[in-house]
């Protein structure tokens, strides 16, 4: 993408990029995505793009008009974000419990773990502490189901899209594991919904539900007259949208930390100072400015994908003076955004963990881990930016702080170099087989 950008004619506003399934139109400058993001849904539809990319009517079951009301969004933007002060200690408690279960606390010798699959499992459990509560998040069968659901959605979307539209329903009925997965996840979630309904009926106005996403979602569903199946599907959808993206983002960052070991000491110094003064709390996590800058730089530098923010033109429309025909898929170019010299200067191609601290000191511009801009697009941009990015940011900072505070870590590669990423189409996945060596720090 970077090499091809040098061949774009002067004055061109959009280019076409080939993918495995279709051509996608992207602006030639990051600022050009502004008009795409601002376009109304009846012109450029994010829902239609998701439905096509994920084959949603067969996978996530969210392609109906009823499902497009996104009842999962209000509790994410509302309680989940507003109650972060209360939720951070819960997340820390689950991180501690996860490490105690996965890594023996008395281990003083180096031991290794395969990074990405281990982190996926950890993030699934930690996230679900807030999504469904302590008892279910510690159920291995439930956590495995959450993890496998995302893999099933991606694989089925890829398979189904390879067939002509008329026979896709038949192919889906024959080979899809997703209906069985929904039934399985319902057996875990339905008892919690039934218990909530019983307690609410018994206690009336005195009912104080547990502060978990499932309860907030159930409240929203009742207000909008949705049934329990919708609550189950949306809970699965939130898990689908959070576990693997958070895990891959975090694993990229962990590999970046360990392949730049000179930054471990200053990161630890900041972490230890903050938790000594404020404990494992949100104020302490918020004060970890170097850690925040490091993770944000990893997001900028270690791209998860080349294209993001897809929209499908549902009618002919004019964007930035250019006619976009109906049926065209448009998106943002993350390579251009995250490495554009107009924003990042001559060091755009260098990894600098202090970059966002310097940016604030030199320009007054504050870009933190959850911040979404035209030049930092890991969480998307505009009104459709990831609604859970504030929770995800706290979760990743907490997990990295816990790793660095409690453990010595190094990459199990020949010279400590970063393992090669795996590119599939437009996606960039951290090396799935790379191992990390760890041991308990004696001084903690």
Q: Which residues are annotated as a binding site for heme?
A: 386
Report CA torsion sign: 231, 233, 234, 238: positive
Return binding residues: 386
Kindly state the tokens that stand for 239: 């898990």
β-strand pairing of 111-114 with 435-440 = antiparallel
Q: Residues 354, 293: contact at Cβ < 8 Å?
A: yes
Residues 401/402/404/408 CA torsion (nearest 10 deg) = 180
Q: How far apart are CA 293 and CA 267, in angstroms?
A: 10
């Amino acid at each position: 993408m970077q090499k091809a950008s040098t061949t774009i004619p002067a004055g061109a506003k959009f280019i076409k990029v080939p993918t495995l399934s279709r051509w996608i139109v992207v602006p030639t400058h990051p600022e050009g995505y502004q008009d795409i993001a601002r376009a109304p849904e009846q012109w450029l539809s994010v829902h239609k793009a998701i439905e096509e990319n994920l084959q949603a009517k067969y996978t996530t079951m969210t392609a109906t008009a009823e499902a497009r009301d996104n009842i999962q969004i209000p509790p994410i933007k509302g309680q989940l974000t507003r109650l972060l002060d209360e939720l951070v200690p819960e997340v820390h408690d689950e991180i501690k419990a996860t490490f105690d279960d996965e890594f023996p606390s008395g281990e003083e010798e180096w031991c290794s773990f395969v990074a990405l699959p281990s982190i996926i499992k950890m993030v699934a459990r930690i996230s679900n502490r807030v999504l469904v509560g302590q008892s279910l998040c510690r159920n291995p069968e439930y956590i495995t189901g959450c993890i496998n659901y995302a893999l099933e959605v991606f694989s089925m979307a890829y398979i189904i899209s390879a067939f002509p539209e008329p026979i896709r329903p038949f192919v889906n009925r024959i080979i899809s594991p997703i209906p069985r997965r929904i039934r399985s996840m319902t057996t875990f979630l339905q008892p919690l919904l039934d218990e909530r309904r019983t307690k609410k009926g018994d206690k009336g106005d005195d009912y104080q539900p547990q502060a978990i996403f499932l309860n907030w979602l159930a409240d929203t569903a009742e207000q909008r007259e949705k049934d329990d199946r919708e609550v189950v599907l949306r809970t699965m959808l939130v898990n689908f949208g959070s576990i693997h993206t958070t895990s891959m983002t975090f694993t990229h960052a962990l590999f970046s930390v360990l392949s730049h070991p000179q930054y471990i000491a200053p990161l630890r110094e900041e972490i230890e100072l903050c938790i000594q003064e404020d404990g494992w709390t949100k104020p302490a996590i918020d004060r970890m400015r170097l850690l925040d800058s490091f993770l944000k730089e990893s997001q900028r530098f270690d791209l998860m994908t080349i294209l993001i923010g897809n929209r499908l033109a549902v009618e002919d429309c004019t964007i930035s003076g250019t006619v976009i025909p109906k049926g065209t898929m448009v998106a943002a170019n993350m390579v251009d955004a995250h490495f554009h010299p107009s924003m990042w200067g001559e060091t755009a191609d260098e990894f600098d963990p202090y970059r966002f601290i310097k940016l604030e000191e030199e320009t007054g511009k504050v870009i933190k881990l959850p911040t979404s801009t035209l030049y930092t697009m890991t969480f998307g941009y505009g009104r459709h930016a990831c609604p859970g990015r504030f929770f995800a940011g706290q979760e990743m900072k907490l997990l990295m702080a816990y790793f660095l505070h409690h453990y010595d870590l190094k990459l199990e590669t020949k010279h400590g170099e970063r393992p090669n990423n795996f590119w599939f189409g437009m996606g960039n996945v951290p090396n799935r087989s790379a191992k990390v060596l760890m041991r308990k720090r004696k001084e903690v």
